[in-house]
Amino acid sequence: MVRGFQGDSLSDPTAMAACAKHFVGYGAAEAGKDYNSTFIPERVLRNVYLPPFEAAAKAGCATFMTSFNDNDGVPSTGNAFILRKVLRGEWNYDGMVVTDWASATEMIAHGFCKDAKEAAWKAVNAGVDMEMVSGSFLGNLEALVKEGKVSGKTIDDAVRNILRLKFRLGLFDNPYVVTDQKVKYAEEHLAKAKEAAGESVILLKNADEVLPLKDKVRTVAVVGPMADAPHDQMGTWVFDGEKDHTQTPLKALQEMYGDRVQVIYEPGLAYSRDKNIAGIAKAVAAARRADVVLAFVGEEAILSGEAHSLADLSLRGAQSELVEALSKTGKPVVTIVMAGRPLTIGKEVEESAAVLYSFHPGTMGGPAIAELLFGEMVPSGKTPVTFPKMVGQLPVYYAHHHTGRAPSGKETLIDDIPLEAGQTSLGCSSFYMDAGFGPLFPFGYGLSYTTFGYDKLVLSADKLKTGDVLTASVNVTNTGKYAGTEVVQLYVQDKVASVTRPVKELKGFQRVALQPGETRTVIFSLPVSELAFWNIDMKKVVEPGDFKLWLGTNSDEGLSAEFEVID
């Protein structure tokens, strides 16, 4: 992403300064409520939340932005530990640090600063170079320097960081970029947008190979509030989106396949929050006339994005009732979800023959989904986050730690518990009686229209030293009927360490395109140094010991082998 924004040189007229945000821990908000406080201990901060930012810094990301949240009582905009000790001191970062929107003076609301003057004092001394919006720097820094609360060197350093970026951008030589390029809705860009949308769609279920739609399909019923929602399809934070240019699934199906199949459209619901069930009967009637039902459900754009938190992640309005009614027709229901977040759709998955999750696919989402439905594109997307069965499971993630009571056998769920069962009869292990242990869909999960087989996992060595590089290879074969792309994933577990370690950690992935029957040996190189973590003494080290490695199709499945790191 840094390369994509910045190119080979920031001085290129088409380059933009990338910004790594929000630094740091913003996504760990209590109760999943945006802007809320976080409590991330230093070891977890260093092992989990700081590494992506360190990677961005090493990639040359030109700017960092502080986050709104406080962590362990210290707002990020006033946190010298993350800004001076880690970012500048440990990573030797020489880019610019900017506040988030008014986050300097928001430290007053946090109860961390008395007024704007104290906010400016704490922010600039913590390591912020530039303030966005609130004006506390402009109004107070001169006085703070005169009072000796902010040193001249601190101001000089901040100015240097800002000017260094401006020099790198070439703004003193060429302050205005003039271009006559016509880039908006250029055909090659629309093609890339369609490709990106198609590759991000995740096939979660495909019972009886209902997808791709076969030639025998003559009539399709298109239903649901997201089938023709050009504004909402673009998703959140789209200030310059133009819905007149959005190609919706309904329009794409009519224009691209209307000569092959009859498309019957009955939305059933006017929008995602619509609770008026009067239109469901018409949608059901349309379904009865069709060979297959395409149900487009999900969320309007306004329901996701910054400051749009939800405590209930189920489908809104009467969408669940719509899917249930469609399933009772006996016709195969293909449910396509357009949403800005993972939703708890276990019931809808059970009621559907196939499920595609497209998130909000953007301007070209319609043609991408249409081509996926008819097999001109083959799904290759994988879940970028774990999908929960119920909200009460959250946070749920693949890289969790084992407890001393991890489930070792079959879970006894709540409806299977005998009356007057003994207190210890369920095994005294760590799981939910109503949700079990696992999620609805694990991290890295996604099906294809074809199938892939894995065999012959080979490690270059079973004993390695800290400076070595482990090579792991596996044969991947397309065992199905369609050409497809598999995302091969590499996971590692440090089995015993000075502090408990995750059950698995993703260390790499590769997209591999294969023709039917084709086999390819996929090779990963894993430097042993990448097994380092912040240990019980808060030092980043590779500890000698036993490790397990997996190569597979998601975080739950794969071939495994073991190796040892020695002194």
Active site residues: 100
Query: CB-based burial of residue 382 (10 Å sphere; 0-12 exposed, 13-18 middle, 19+ buried)?
Result: buried
Backbone angles phi, psi at 170, to 5 degrees: 75, 25
Handedness of CA 366, 370, 373, 376 (dihedral sign): negative
CA atoms within 13 A on the CB side of 58: 8
Cα–Cα distances (Å) from 307 to 61, 150, 335, in that order, read 26, 34, 28
The Cα–Cα gap between 441 and 70 comes to 31
What is the DSSP track for 171-216? TTT--S-------TT-HHHHHHHHHHHHHH-EEEEEGGG--SPPTT
Closest CA to 64 of 32, 41, 86, 37: 86
In whole angstroms, what is the distance from residue 550 CA to residue 548 CA?
7
Tell me the C-alpha distance between 238 and 41, whole Å.
Answer: 35
User: Pick from 293, 294, 343, 340: which is nearest to 314 by CA?
Assistant: 343
**Which residues are CB-neighbours of 289 under 8 A, at least 6 positions away?**
219, 221, 264
Tell me phi and psi for residue 302, to 5 degrees. Answer: -65, -15
Q: How far apart are CA 128 and CA 320, in angstroms?
A: 47
* 3 state SS of 455: strand
- Rounded to a whole number of angstroms, the CA Rg of the chain reads 26
Phi, then psi, of 158 in degrees rounded to 5: -65, -45
